[in-house]
Every structure is written in C-alpha cells, then in structure tokens.
Amino acid sequence: MPIEMPKGLPFSVDTFSPSSKRKRHHFLTHAHKDHTSGISSHFSYPIYSTHLTKSLVLLHYPQLDDSLFVGIEVGESIVINDPDEEFQVTAFDSNHCPGAVMFLFEGSFGNILHTGDCRLMPECLQNLPEKYIGRKGKEPQCCFDYVFLDCTFGRFSRNLPSKHSSIRQRTTEICLPYADNIFFSHYHFKWRRGWGGILCIFFLLIVMFYNLN
C-alpha cells in the first residue's frame, strides 16, 4: 500500500493526495489501481514512470495529458534538478507487473530505495549497484539510509505460487473454453473459435497487465 513520503523529501512515490501534490517531483512505480488512486485529479508535472506504465495509466485515465509524464526505463539514471539540491534517481526491475520498477534515490537526503510492489528475488537484488550489495565476497561499501518496502504479503503464512505458475493458472482458466491446445513453453495457442480466441487474447492481456502479483 503506497505511503506518503516524509515531509523533508522533495518527491512523492505512488501517492496523489493533496499533500503529495505539494511535492515538486512525482514518481509512479507501476500502473496498478491502488498505486494510481487520485491521479485523475492530479495534474502536477512531472510524473516519472516507465513508458509502459504511462501507456497503461493513460488507457485508464484518458483525461490525463501525455506531457505530464517523463520517461525513465529500467537501468536508467536521471539527475533531477531540484531547487534545493539536485539528486539522482535510478529505476530497477521490481519483478512485478509489466512496466513496474523500483526507484533508488541518491542525494543529500541520503540513499533511499523505494521498491513499490515487488517480488523480491535474488536476481532483483543483484541488479542493484555493487556498492550497496557487494559481490564476489566483497562487503558492501555503503548502505541504504531508508528502504520503503511494500509488505502486503509480509505476514502471509502460506506459500505464494511462482510468477510463472500464476500466469499458467490464469491463462488456463481464461483460455480453456476456446483453445484446443495451449503450449505454454512457446506461448503458442491454437484456437477453436475465431472471435472467442481474439476475446481470449484480449482478456489474457488485461489479466497479465493488471491482476498478476
């Protein structure tokens, strides 16, 4: 669940409340509805997000203007010219839905990792800068001052299915009435009914974009 950034920070992440609106820079980790709540009445430039996240948001909120968004892609660093002092932000894959990223902020306020929603696998951590995680037996050179971590399932006692098995399960549920054969390993589908198949692809894309965690 998104939370407001502390008052001293010049940016917001995934919140579009009146108090967030007073921040000078806005970041959006991904396009899920609980992270875009309030964005339709939020017209403050700029909102930093990936291109895919922006496209999904604009589909849902066509009243928003494309020019509100500034693109940042996985692995990209941007220096933000803030009136107080410039800071740097870098986007990393959060292994969540398509377009989802986590943000690493580095500035005079400290080093802050905001994960948004994430499926934090070892590979995700390996993508972070070496100075924070260390490699090949080396100790990290510095640490994060703050980590904002989404803990929706932090106390969930049952095992969560893998991302791959979730996709497989949803695909089966949606497509089975229409498909003669589904070959997941090659993402090849053989359709029994023309329009049914097309609708099936449509709903499959919707599910993959919005429902998978």
Chain residues that interact with Zn ion, rule: CB under 5 A: 32, 117
Q: CB-based contacts of 184: which residues, under 8 Å, 6+ apart? A: 168, 171
E-assigned strand segments in 3-143: 11-13, 25-27, 47-49, 69-71, 77-80, 87-93, 101-107, 110-114
Judged by CB, which is closer to Zn ion: 1, or 83? 1
Judged by CB, which is closer to Zn ion: 99, or 107? 99
Judged by CB, which is closer to Zn ion: 21, or 119? 119
CB of 170 to Zn ion, least distance (A): 15
CB atoms near residue 11 (< 10 Å):
22
**Crossing angle of helices 194-210 and 163-175, rounded to 10°:** 150
Quick one: tokens of 29?
């980790």
CB of 210 to Zn ion, least distance (A): 9
Quick one: tokens of 4?
């407001």
Residues 68 and 187: their CA atoms lie apart, in Å, by 35
CB of 59 to Zn ion, least distance (A): 16
Amino acid identity of 131? K
Judged by CB, which is closer to Zn ion: 94, or 171? 94
CB of 97 to Zn ion, least distance (A): 6
SS3 2: coil
CB of 77 to Zn ion, least distance (A): 24
Judged by CB, which is closer to Zn ion: 106, or 117? 117
Cβ burial of 135 (10 Å; 0-12, 13-18, 19+) is exposed
Cβ burial of 96 (10 Å; 0-12, 13-18, 19+) is buried
CB of 152 to Zn ion, least distance (A): 8
> Is there a contact between 111 and 9 (Cβ–Cβ < 8 Å)?
no
Judged by CB, which is closer to Zn ion: 106, or 150? 150
